[in-house]
Amino acid sequence: MITEAVVSYIKMRRTCGFAFESEGACLQRFAAFSAAKGQHHVRSDVAMEWAVQARSAPARARRLGIVIRFARYARAEDTRHELPLAVLGAEKAPRPVPYIYSQDDIRRLLRVLSQSGYRTLRRATYVTLFGLLACTGLRLSEALHLRYSDITADGLVIRRTKFRKSRLVPLHETARAALERYLEQRRAYAPLDDHVFISLRRKPLLVADAERTLRTAARKIGLRRESGQPRPTIHALRHTFAVRALEACPDDRDRISQHMVALSTYLGHSHVAHTYWYLDATPQLMTDISERCERFVAGGRS
């Protein structure tokens, strides 16, 4: 029966360490749809009929992809399950070109933040938060979840990651000094809360507040989104960190591979391919790639 097979599949994926929440719910809806059609095994036509009900092309492809992966598992035990063909295209839309801040952009952002609003902890909070994001490439959620105990002599311990993996993020001595200066102010402000970044309400800083503050500061310094172009966001600070790190990559094939793996680990990417995506983010990186390819073809050093 398809319902029992779905339950078994979800349990197997979660046992392997996957959260499998949205995918599991999706398969349960498919099982209910199939049962309503009087089908107790995966049928290609039923899977297609269910998948095309999604609103967007990537969502339709994703629905079908989830069923296909489940069908491969189910067929190992029962060959009556059909294996639908992946005929609805890619499951994910192409990743957009990221916005990349210049060093001057970041300096001006921090300057305007240091002068905005009343002379309260708010200024120090946002200057330190955005400065930390710019120099470490942390996700905003990772920074907002930081506790005092996560600041160690070796760096920041990132415990609540996007993919449930912990990692250590080393800090430059200047970043560590700036963080310590902020904490000296912050500890007396809300001593009962051990979150590093807090609001004037003496509660953990909210994502929406941070995003609103960045948008306001970006407008003040004239960073505006052109039609059809990426816009300056908090996450763009992470993109910028990754791109600058790649621009500093050593000019040697073996060292490039090591650099990419190290950067992927540092950023907490689930797969190194997500790090390679940044290679086409700026004209400088594309020029570097082109020049190295030319040297390789010519028989020179790559």
User: Do 216 and 244 sit in the same domain of this protein?
Assistant: no
User: Do 213 and 250 sit in the same domain of this protein?
Assistant: no
Q: Clarify whether 276 is annotated catalytic.
A: no
Instruction: State the pLDDT confidence band at 98, using cuts at 50, 70 and 90.
Output: confident
In a domain, 117, yes or no: yes
Instruction: State the pLDDT confidence band at 72, using cuts at 50, 70 and 90.
Output: very high
Task: Among 3-7, 47-51, 190-194, 234-238, name the one with the lowest average pLDDT.
Answer: 190-194
User: Do 199 and 257 sit in the same domain of this protein?
Assistant: no
In a domain, 6, yes or no: yes
User: Do 153 and 185 sit in the same domain of this protein?
Assistant: yes
User: Do 186 and 120 sit in the same domain of this protein?
Assistant: yes
User: Do 123 and 196 sit in the same domain of this protein?
Assistant: yes
Q: Which of 235, 259, 274, 292 is catalytic?
A: 235
174, 191, 220: which is the final residue of a domain?
A: 220
Q: Clarify whether 81 is annotated catalytic.
A: no
For the cut 70, the answer to whether the pLDDT of residue 210 exceeds it is yes
Q: Which domain holds residue 58?
A: 2-75
User: Do 126 and 52 sit in the same domain of this protein?
Assistant: no
Q: Which of 60, 186, 238, 239 is catalytic?
A: 238
220, 254, 283: which is the final residue of a domain?
A: 220
User: Do 192 and 129 sit in the same domain of this protein?
Assistant: yes
User: Do 141 and 208 sit in the same domain of this protein?
Assistant: yes
Compute CA 202 distance to the chain's CA centroid, rounded to the nearest angstrom.
Answer: 28
Between residues 128 and 226, which one has the greater pLDDT? Answer: 128
Q: In terms of pTM, does the model score above 0.85?
A: no
User: Do 202 and 108 sit in the same domain of this protein?
Assistant: yes
Length of the chain (residues): 302
Q: What is the structure's pLDDT at 138?
A: 93
Q: Clarify whether 238 is annotated catalytic.
A: yes
Q: Which of 63, 108, 244, 269 is catalytic?
A: 269
In a domain, 91, yes or no: no
Q: What is the structure's pLDDT at 17?
A: 77
Q: Clarify whether 269 is annotated catalytic.
A: yes
The total number of structural domains that make up the chain: 3
Q: Clarify whether 278 is annotated catalytic.
A: yes
Look over the chain and give the mean of its residue pLDDT values, rounded to a whole number: 86
In a domain, 111, yes or no: yes
Mean pLDDT of 82-100: 85
In a domain, 98, yes or no: no
In a domain, 247, yes or no: yes
User: Do 113 and 159 sit in the same domain of this protein?
Assistant: yes
In a domain, 97, yes or no: no
For the cut 60, the answer to whether the pLDDT of residue 182 exceeds it is yes
User: Do 201 and 264 sit in the same domain of this protein?
Assistant: no
DSSP assignment of the chain? -HHHHHHHHHHHHHHTT---HHHHHHHHHHHHHHHHTT-SS--HHHHHHHHTTSSSHHHHHHHHHHHHHHHHHHHTT-TTS------S--SSPPPPPPP---HHHHHHHHHHHHHSSSSSHHHHHHHHHHHHHHHH---HHHHHT-BGGGEETTEEEE-S-TTS--EEE---HHHHHHHHHHHHHHHHH-TT--BSSB-TTSSBPPHHHHHHHHHHHHHHTT--PPTTS----SHHHHHHHHHHHHHT--SSHHHHHHHHHHHHHHHT-SSTHHHHGGGGSSHHHHHHHHHHHHHHHTTS--
Mean pLDDT of 168-194: 92
In a domain, 228, yes or no: no
CATH label of the domain that carries residue 143: 1.10.443.10
Q: Which of 80, 92, 162, 187 is catalytic?
A: 162
